Structure 1
Amino acid sequence: MAKTKAKGDESWGKLIRDIVVILLLVLGIHSCIAKPFYIPSDSMMPALRNGDRLIVSKYPYGWSYSSVSFHLAPKVEGRLFGKLPERGDIVVLEHPVTRIDYIKRVIGLPGDTIQLRGGELSINGKPVKREVQPMLAIPVDLNTPGPDSSLFRFVTRDASGKEMLELPIVRETLPGGATFDTIDMGPGYSTDDYGPITVPADHVFLMGDNRDGSADSRVGTNQKGLGGPVPFDAIAGRAEIISFSTDGTAEWYNPLSWFSALRSGRAGTDLRPARQGN
């Protein structure tokens, strides 16, 4: 009888050890190599839509407290094997106050002077190249526009009566050649005029691609913004690729709806910006 009990205790102990090892392995991969990320808003449209799922790599910029998943690490200064992002990279970061995950684009690096006038961006006194593009049509679904979106006024109907978003697009090219599309909803927004401000050492300046609908470095923390340039240590990783995207119709209890909710053409989208001259 004693032997049976010992064997049972040993089996339970092995099971617990195996579970702990698996959890540590998952946490290690999640913290050091890559993690999934869900887009919950329209602040990074048109590149990213509410409902997109991404893969975020953890190693390109080295590791800091923000690299540790689930916000388990205390906020301490310093970065292991740190390497600054490039202008134009899309990064995931911890909000410097709330520690909630945000996703934005790197616009300014340490020493850069950032200024906006009438929605037009200048870096180090030079206007960023802007090219107006044709209106972008995106189908409306349960996820787009997202909750509390600034884009509802652009909802219209196509010839067949289907609801569409018709978005005004401006293509920007940053110093270094990174090129990407932004949404410019026109004048009259508080974020259209900002600065000039010089990015301090070990900080980056971040903005959303939906320029008039993003709480980013231009917006105070009391309005859910980042409150200026963000410490480099707060950057958790770089957005790499869209793994899949859903339109909001999926129901957890209906596996068939998981497939019918998938948006076509989103999976596999590379999130690294095109770079002129490369």
Structure 2
Amino acid sequence: MAKAEQKKGNAVIETIKTIVYALLIAGVFRSLFYQPFWIPSGSMKDTLLIGDFLFVNKMAYGYSYASCPSVIIPRFGINIDAEDICGFLKKDDGGRYWGGEPERGDVVVFRHPVTGRDFIKRLIGLPGETVQVNDGVVSINGTPVEVSPDGTFVEPRIISRRTGQACANGPVGEGADCIKEKFIETLPGGHTHSILNVRTQPSDNTPVYTIPEGMYFFMGDNRDNSSDSRVPQQFGGVGYVPYENLVGRAERVMFSSAGASMLFFWTWRGDRFFKRIE
């Protein structure tokens, strides 16, 4: 009987060790190579949709404290910041280890400079440049970017959850077509991508922003439904993002679910499997 209990105890210990090793390996993989990311909002439509699941390439820009994941579980009162885990990676000059420079047009996951939460936006302005928005058109170093009409973006209006679904065709009811104007924006260097417009609003006209060294300027593709660098941090926006706060580059959507859970396979969007992020 004692031997049986001893074997049972050893089996439990081995199981616990296996789980711990698996978690350690997963933690190292996530910290060093790729981080899974689930799109929770509509600020990057129509490039990224709510329910898109993707992996972020952490090797693209090298490593900083932001490369480590935060552990936030409000239900259990757990709020461990990435800096608490990897603060030793912070450099006095705000640099990175094996750092690589991001390119204009990259879709980047970064840590919000104030809240520490992960955001995903498109890189528009580089250190030392000026950025301004006039009548919804971005100007970089005083030169407006090229914008050309590209039809409309249409999706069903969903009122039951907060999706940022302002519509160019006015308030519409549940399930009705929500229409946004669609354009192709071409940034300096030739990178092209889709942007959406709903209406004229204050963020369509901004002052001139001069980006400090070591900082970057980000905007969402869904221009009228995005909290980004157009609004300074003291007013609740993102403001300039430090180089060390970059987590990685988003490159490809693995799959996408239009439902409330990734387990609802019948809601998966068949046209978005392994879709390249432009």
Q: Which runs of 5+ in 2 are unaligned?
A: 71-80
The aligned residue for residue 225 of structure 2 is 213
| Paired amino acid for 2:137 | E
The secondary structure found in structure 2 opposite 1:233 is helix
Partner of 1:192: 204
Which of 221, 228, 233 is the matching residue for 2:244? 233
TM-score by length of 2: 0.83
Q: How many residues align?
A: 260
Asked if the contact 1:156/1:163 (under 8 Å) is kept, the reply is no
Please give the secondary structure, in 2, of the residue aligned with 1:69.
Answer: coil
Alignment-derived partner of residue 73 in structure 2: none
Report deviation, 1:193: 1.6
The code of the aligned residue for 2:206 comes to Y
The alignment partner of 1:121 has SS state of strand
| 1:171 and 2:181 aligned | no
Following TM superposition, by how much is the alpha carbon of 1:148 offset from its aligned partner in structure 2, in angstroms? 5.1
TM-superposed deviation, 1:44: 0.5
Question: How far 1:192 moved relative to its partner?
Answer: 1.2
- 1:243-254 counterparts in 2 under 5 A? 243-248=254-259, 250=261
Q: Deviations over 1:152-191 (max 9, x none)?
A: 454799xxxx73232201211111111001112232x121
Residue type of the alignment partner of 2:273:
A
Q: Identity over the aligned pairs, expressed in percent?
A: 37
Residues 230 and 14 from structure 1, CA distance in 2 versus in 1: closer, same or farther, beyond 3 angstroms?
same
The residue aligned with 2:215 is 203
* Structure 1 position 264 matched with structure 2 position 277: no
SS at match of 2:116: coil
Asked if 1:102 corresponds to 2:119, the answer is: yes
> 1:42 touches 1:48 (CA, 8 Å); kept in 2?
yes
- Counterpart for residue 147 of structure 1: 162
CA contact (8 A) 2:167 2:180 kept: no
Scaled by the length of structure 1, the TM-score of the pair is 0.83
Asked if 1:24 corresponds to 2:24, the answer is: yes
Supply the AA of the counterpart residue of 2:96: R
Residue 196 (structure 2) aligns with = 183
Q: Secondary structure at the match of 2:218?
A: strand
Note the residue ranges of structure 1 that are not aligned, 5 or more in a row: 274-278
Instruction: Specify the alignment match of 1:93 in structure 2.
Output: 110
Task: Please list the CA deviations of residues 106-140 of structure 1 after superposition, one character each: whole Å capped at 9, or x if unmatched.
Answer: 00111111111121111011110111121223344
- Which amino acid is the alignment partner of residue 182 of structure 1? I
SS of the residue corresponding to residue 30 of structure 2 reads helix
Residue 138 (structure 2) aligns with: 121
Aligned partner of 1:186: which letter? R
Is the contact between residue 45 and residue 182 of structure 1 (CA under 8 Å) also seen in structure 2?
Answer: yes
